[in-house]
């Protein structure tokens, strides 16, 4: 590890870290695994619902039940104390 860092420091043009950048718009959803699709959906739900876990759980419940899911309905259900 130390040798790699020394090589990177002494000759960065030859020895540099390679980072793979992926453009999300170029990803084909048909080629993603169900686990990756679930992670993307969870991330987008969390972001859309402001991290409100009760609202996210309500969205998951509605999706699994085959119901139509709207941000407003999930946010409203996430604020209700009995839900």
Residue whose entry in the numeric block shows the structure tokens 């999300």:
24
C-alpha span between 26 and 54 (Å, rounded): 32
Report if residue 29 sits inside a domain.
yes
By C-alpha distance, which of 51, 73, 50 is closest to 61? 73
**Does residue 4 lie in a domain region?**
no
Domain tally, the chain: 1
Q: How confident is the prediction along the chain (83 residues), in pLDDT tens digits per residue?
A: 888 888 888 887 887 777 777 777 888 889 889 999 999 889 999 999 888 888 888 899 999 999 988 888 888 876 766 54
Print the domain residue range for 72.
Answer: 23-83
Residue whose token pair is 């119901």: 67
- Let me know if residue 67 belongs to a domain: yes
Q: Does residue 8 form part of some domain?
A: no
Residue 17 lies in a domain: no
pTM: 0.59
In a domain, 11, yes or no: no
């Amino acid at each position: 590890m130390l040798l790699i860092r020394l090589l990177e420091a002494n000759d960065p043009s030859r020895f540099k870290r390679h980072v793979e950048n992926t453009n999300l718009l170029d990803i084909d959803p048909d080629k993603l695994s169900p686990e990756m699709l679930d992670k993307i959906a969870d991330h987008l739900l969390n972001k859309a619902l402001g991290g409100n876990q009760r609202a996210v759980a309500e969205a998951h419940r509605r999706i699994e039940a085959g119901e139509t899911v709207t941000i407003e309905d999930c946010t409203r259900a996430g604020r209700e104390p009995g839900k």
